[in-house]
Amino acid sequence: MTDPKLRVLIPAGRIQARIRELGEQISRDYPDGKLHMICILKGAVFFMTDLARALTIHVSLDFMGISTYGKGKTTSGEVKVTKDLDASLEGDDVLIVEDIVDSGVTLNYLFHLLEQRKPRSIRIAALLDKPERRLRPVHVTYVGFQIPDEFVVGYGLDYAERYRNLDDLCVLGGETTG
């Protein structure tokens, strides 16, 4: 896709190499050999499917829909569950898989919500972290990349539902910034 508004920040090859590293680390960290992965829709879908295939342990998958952002780039600060999980988490080793931690509002809310469902353990994996933007504390055990405070799209991340299908992670600039 040639789009003058896009600038590659992390090329596909680096994303995939980092996911392989995370996969090795996570596989080592769960010696029982079982992990229940929860994908936060929709941005984390690409990361989740690649990360799951980088694991050498057994995984089960579930999906949760959350809305915080509207159609643009600014958060409403409000978290709403739009699709709940299919299965209980009781006794499971749970890994929440998210695309990006920005203000931390979403994951702070979600972590506490899912913790109440009595998992055996619960951790977070996020492909991207924008630490400068944090408003709420979140402990992310597995971080792919720390990035500066710029709006990014691609590899699952969108602007108004566009650009999710780019292989590279790109900065979206131009007239849409704001």
Q: In the complex, which residues of this chain contact ligand IMP (CB under 6 A)?
A: 43, 68-69, 75, 98-106, 151-153, 157
Would you call 29 a catalytic residue per the annotation? Answer: no
Out of 102, 129, 158, 168, which one is annotated catalytic?
A: 102
We find the least distance from the C-beta atom of residue 106 to ligand IMP, in angstroms, to be: 3
Nearer to ligand IMP by Cβ, of 17 and 135: the residue is 135
We find the least distance from the C-beta atom of residue 42 to ligand IMP, in angstroms, to be: 8
Q: Which residue of 10, 40, 43, 55 would you call a contact of Mg ion, by CB under 5 A?
A: 43
Nearer to ligand IMP by Cβ, of 117 and 136: the residue is 136
- CA 116 to chain CA mean position, Å: 21
Q: Rounded to an integer, what distance in angstroms lies between the CA atom of residue 178 and that of residue 77?
A: 17
Q: Rounded to an integer, what distance in angstroms lies between the CA atom of residue 76 and that of residue 67?
A: 9
We find the least distance from the C-beta atom of residue 126 to ligand IMP, in angstroms, to be: 9
